[in-house]
Structure 1
């Protein structure tokens, strides 16, 4: 990708957003490594509660795998938006598995920003959201995060949701979507590929993937990595290098298949689901994201690219940003387009 015209500008951000991004930047040393104690002081946690919050969202924590300690937080609307609008029983709700960002090393499903985001998605999308607390690097390297994400899908494939958050209409396991930002977007791709390539389970269908500014990379520096290295204080090239060193197998380069997901060497299952790739104009990772989308399209996959020219990395986390609201609407349309009941209704109309 050619250098963006945004390279000559700096992003315009509300002071409240800039303060939060700056605080995250302060949690890193100059070489990109994380100041763990400082980060932990700022990583405030939110609890789950079966009592509906102000938006009518209930939540509960479930244990996904007792052997690894992996768990997930389930968010559910207290009532379906269609409960009173239709004479017939409302259809079961789609499920969105969410994988948080943080370079595979930071945050958790209980971190306040991600708890708030998942509540917002649950309410706006009228969907059950399962936020997976996968194991993090450097203690747990590749492929732990991918294994844990697949374990969460297997769990829901085999187990009902807890009664205190299970929607009355039930969930539609044929309308499950994967979504994640940054490292979580990377997880979306690899888990979608694993699930699409497997035939060992039958109920849960991955209907689509939403990759929000996914974390991909390679050994060479792209134009965007040079131009936007310090566009925002929260993410810079040295930090991304550290994240890869912490996550990839010891001695692996950034050209490892987990990071460099572009070009002819990428393997894709025939059943790889439709994908929505979100790119921000001020994101230093945007060239890798564009290469990923180009690779998917070249291999005949159903991919749409949604670009926000003025967006920084992580913009979707801040509801005060206009682009964040636009993104949620785009995600809602993507889910509605690829839901099973949408497919079935279209089939009945043409039969």
Structure 2
């Protein structure tokens, strides 16, 4: 069965869920264009989640994907939090921020029974997860809705684990991809591979359909993914400058600049590895810091620095998520991107 038949979509094109840079409007536009639009839900509170799900249901009669995180919530670590705030102390002083007034807070919640209660009445046709899969009882509940389940793998071992634990589709996320790495069996970045090294290995290791993600931006990368056995392609960075995206002004300016040529994987903004455009704090602290609290606790201390800098038009402390191949990231409607990638997929068929 093709990916299109499995998901009920016209084109084998998936829009990556991008928390902080989109809401339901982008997902609706992609789904209505025949691809699979995705809504990032991990940062949404209960009321916002319900509102966005209502918008999706009203905005498209075609399949869509809702995405959740499956991380384990970390135990508070006061010593590590203090070390992190000490590392940021010069920036707090520069920006006139009193760190004592910064409240701790995770900002991202893993999929739970309470979240499932909100989602279940909408019965989304596709549900995807990052950082593994939820507990077996929760996964069974999602599947009972009739949803197809997708999850990201960054290694062959993760792909095998996902298949064994119930994923219907695996997204092979190469190291080129922007945003958070989906890694969950190991935190070792040395074990991460590029898309076109990872993809054929995952395809050979599992029986479920595999979607290529990371560096997918144009006809050539789509053709390469299909030649290596992918059932479809997922693009994220390409959609960041669309009018349907909610990408902030500072982030948009960086995406329009030559700065996109220099990205790195960093844990400074959330505590987990994620790829973004290199900015001041990444240069000065190094992209990976052992002081950064476990995901998602690093976010709280960075947030006021980001707000203060963005108010003056600076991205010094902003998570400027971007993949290594920003060639397709241009200001055009989302439907045009779906059409371009879909035509490339069709042209590369045998």
Same fold (TM over 0.5): no
Where is the helix percentage greater, Structure 1 or Structure 2?
A: 2
TM-score, normalising length from structure 1? 0.30
TM-score, normalising length from structure 2? 0.30
